[in-house]
Chain A
Amino acid sequence: MIAKKVTRKWEKLPGKNSFCCDGRVMMARQKGVFYLTLFLITGTCALFFAFECPYLAVHLSAAVPVCAVILFLFVMAMLLRTSFSDPGVLPRALPEEASFIEMEIEAANGSVPAGQRPPPRIRNVQINNQIVKLKYCYTCKIFRPPRASHCSICDNCVDRFDHHCPWVGNCVGKRNYRYFYLFTLSLSLLTIYIFTFDIVHVTLRSVFYGSVWCVAALTLPSTVVEVLVCFFTLWSVVGLTGFHTYLISLNQTTNEDIKGSWSGKNRVQNPYSHKNIVKNCCEVLCGPTYPSVLDRRGVMLESSGSTPCKTSDVTAATANTVTPNEVAFFSLQKTTSPLIPNEHSPDEAPPSIATTGHDTATSIPEEEDATGPNGSAPKAPPTTILVKESSH
């Protein structure tokens, strides 16, 4: 009857993600390397702005720090966008869907003699005259769509899974691949930029003071630090950017490349490639921005009053247009959240008992407790008091 606290769907999501800002931010659990990335980028840039830019702005051009600021902001925006967004996680199958699929599998396999292993769960689909095998994910209880893969670190199936990147602290998948690529590209440019102007700075100083280049360099310790960081970063980041440019031109993922899915043996070709570099690049970088299907900020159960669903996600639109009573009815009949694993449907009221559907309201709170909080953000208090609904 009384809404104690609104429970948002992210608090009950399975998988090993951590969430911040009430579900707006979604990352992997281990964030240590991500903090290192942040520290390296901001630290090096801070040194550059503090020690190089004053000299260069005066002796060279004011455009030098301005461009550096723009580049730096772009790099940070891309990094945070990659790290904080949903990479394209596929929600796990609800119990009804899972058992529906199980029935289909059993029907397809027939009866297995006792003692024999059942055949592997694979579905074949034909895409562009190529047979692609869809594997069954035992954790998520779905047949993975083509190009999806299960990330063991985050314990989620991710659509168009590329790889799990510890540097950004998140998986790279369909929804954030272009931000990841732009991050590596802009970081390469930023690294080259800082490296170049560090050299220019030292050269200018040595010319000005008439000293040997190396001596001039040693008088500027911050420059030395920056040059070292940039030098080592250059090799890895520029290499990574080149590698991903190659993958994009072929419309392949890192995962497929590592597994050699389209390496050409057995006359297997990439069915997703448009066979045209420009088209492939356009699709990956300028394609539509896919929405998240997770609805992290959706409200779990609606209170008896009107609940302002604060999520901007479209899924709230349907919930908002029905009355609270209607939602109550349907959420009692269906499972309450699409994202809780192994949740049992509320017991159906047997038709012989002449009651309304609302009698099953008491079974819901127990289900919520059974699953336990999964992947909650460390900052959010796990809530055990849920919104109880009443039809009266």
Chain B
Amino acid sequence: RLTEFHNLQELRQSASLANKVFIQRDYSEGTVCKFHTKLPSELDSRIEKTLFEDTVKTLNNYYAEAEKIGGHAYLEGCLACITAYLIFLCMETRYEKVLKKISRYIQEQNEKIYAPRGLLITDPIERGMRVIEISIYEDRSSSGSSTSSSTTSSSGR
């Protein structure tokens, strides 16, 4: 059954880390940043498939927007080149703007959807944009012998 937490605060106070799942990059379209949308089996009982897919698809769209090669990117590139790239000392690049949007989105998703289900998404940029790390928390109060077996599985000891 789904572990219930009402918010991030409650998660923090009463949960312990049980496991971590890593969503890998999808390279089928080349080197653009894109993650697999398939729900991993460990999260099957924790979250609805559509919610998870929506999150990953939105993230993929954000990254596609950041890496889009088009008029805006060319303009930014040419302007920057003319100023010997010194303009980036005062101006934020498009990619950086999108990354900020992404981290706000992830925080919002964590608060609204994932923390109440005992999950936590880590921003991919903190993992080198290689994986989306999802931490699975167990409610301490509801744990018995079942939790102790799962806590050791991920720590690599």
Distance A321 CA – B154 CA, assembled complex (angstroms)? 27
Scoring A126, A146, A348 by chain B CB atoms within 10 A of each residue's CB, the highest score goes to A348
Instruction: Find A338's partner among B13, B21, B127 (CB 8 Å cutoff).
Output: B127
Given contacts A81-B85, A96-B156, A182-B81, contact A291 B95 (CB under 8 A): yes
Residue total for A at the interface (Cβ-Cβ under 8 A): 63
Given contacts A78-B84, A291-B99, contact A333 B17 (CB under 8 A): yes
B123 touches A318 (CB 8 A): yes
B20 touches A96 (CB 8 A): yes
- Which stretch (A15-23, A26-34, A254-262, A281-289) binds chain B? A281-289
Distance A338 CA – B25 CA, assembled complex (angstroms)? 18
Answer whether residue A94 sits at the interface, using C-beta atoms and an 8 A cutoff: yes
Shortest beta-carbon distance from B156 to chain A in Å: 4
| Chain B residues numbered 72-106 whose CB sits less than 8 Å from any CB in chain A | 73-74, 76-78, 80-81, 84-86, 88, 93-96, 99-100, 103-104, 106
- Which stretch (B44-52, B54-62, B129-137) binds chain A? B129-137
Q: Which B residue's beta carbon lies closest to that of A89?
A: B128
Instruction: Find A315's partner among B17, B20, B78, B123 (CB 8 Å cutoff).
Output: B123
Q: Which residues of B contact A357 (CB under 8 A)?
A: 16
Scoring A91, A160, A351 by chain B CB atoms within 10 A of each residue's CB, the highest score goes to A351
A344 touches B127 (CB 8 A): no
Distance A351 CA – B106 CA, assembled complex (angstroms)? 29
Instruction: Find A286's partner among B74, B123, B154 (CB 8 Å cutoff).
Output: B74
Type the 1/0 row for A52-74, where 1 means its CB is closer than 8 Å to any CB of B: 00000000000000000000011
Shortest beta-carbon distance from A192 to chain B in Å: 19
B154 touches A96 (CB 8 A): yes
A351 touches B147 (CB 8 A): yes
Shortest beta-carbon distance from B82 to chain A in Å: 10
Q: Which residues of A contact B120 (CB under 8 A)?
A: 330
Q: Which residues of A contact B66 (CB under 8 A)?
A: 288
Answer whether residue A388 sits at the interface, using C-beta atoms and an 8 A cutoff: no
Q: Which residues of A contact B94 (CB under 8 A)?
A: 288-289
Shortest beta-carbon distance from A388 to chain B in Å: 20
Distance A128 CA – B20 CA, assembled complex (angstroms)? 32
Answer whether residue A138 sits at the interface, using C-beta atoms and an 8 A cutoff: no
Instruction: Find B156's partner among A98, A128, A160, A179 (CB 8 Å cutoff).
Output: A98
Type the 1/0 row for A166-197, where 1 means its CB is closer than 8 Å to any CB of B: 00000000000001001000000000000000
B148 touches A350 (CB 8 A): yes
Q: Which residues of B contact A282 (CB under 8 A)?
A: 69, 74
Q: Report A's interface with B, CB cutoff 8 A.
A: 73-74, 77-78, 81, 90-91, 93-101, 125-128, 132, 134, 142, 145-147, 160, 179, 182, 271-272, 282-283, 285-291, 293, 295, 314-315, 317-318, 321, 326, 329-330, 333-334, 338, 344-345, 347-352, 356-357
6 contacts between A and B (CB under 8 A): A90-B128, A127-B29, A132-B27, A290-B95, A291-B93, A344-B157
Other than the known A97-B133, A314-B99, A348-B152, what 8 A-B pairs have Cβ atoms closer than 8 Å?
Answer: A96-B133, A101-B22, A128-B29, A146-B30, A293-B128, A314-B125, A318-B106, A338-B128
